[in-house]
A and B are shown apart, each in its own frame.
With several copies, the nearest count.
Chain A
């Protein structure tokens, strides 16, 4: 099982994203990229405002699930490349915590492939998020 780097300490910076894009410019068979970015929202929950989310994960199981997701994504879709990055630790409101990057010869399949990867990561990868409010109280994030 080849392990790819997925987890990033803190927020995923716009510069990290542009470097990932730049790395794909030498691949001249790629015609279409699709990128999903998850950004931390300053949600208001019963009068408290989310200031940051602190992410943690069960890394051994996460790696295994991410490997399975990679395998089945390449089986289902005709892709040139696929990358997944997710933050661990503190990510402030407005910062990016989740980055899925799918590339293909043609545009047709990229949208669906991105949606598939995003959904699989949310459902199957053991990641946990503590929503920290401005008053320093917190609650645990639940995916809807």
Chain B
């Protein structure tokens, strides 16, 4: 374990947790567990959010394995235009 994962936060979420990007050593190679870890740290559940792993949008209930150097993005709903 202890893969290094880059995590990027955007918009309202980045503002609320006061962090745009961080690198963390994941305790598990399961994405859901990593997100649960971030939830506990930042109380992310108060936000509607969209998840992207290595620039691919994913569903949280997917059983996804993360690996070293992956980039995870935590995004609020899109508001372009």
Contacts and interface: CB of A to CB of B under 8 A. Distances in A.
Contacts, number: 68
A58 B81 contact: no
Nearest to A32: B81
B81 A98 contact: yes
Interface of A (DSSP majority class): mixed
A38 interface: yes
A64 B52 CA distance: 12
Interface string B38-81: 00000000000010100101000000000000010101111111
Bin chain A's interface residue count.
Answer: 20 to 34
B11 A128 contact: yes
B78 A143 contact: yes
Interface string A95-111: 00110000000010000
Contacts of B75: 58, 126, 128
A84 B55 CA distance: 20
Interface extent on B, as a size class? Answer: 10 to 19
A42 B15 CA distance: 23
A73 to B, nearest CB: 16
A126 B75 CA distance: 8
Nearest to A119: B81
Contacts of B73: 58, 61, 126
B11 A118 contact: no
A122 B78 CA distance: 7
A61 B52 contact: yes
Interface of A: 38, 55-58, 60-61, 64, 86, 97-98, 107, 118, 121-130, 140-143
Interface of B: 8, 10-12, 15, 50, 52, 55, 57, 71, 73, 75-81
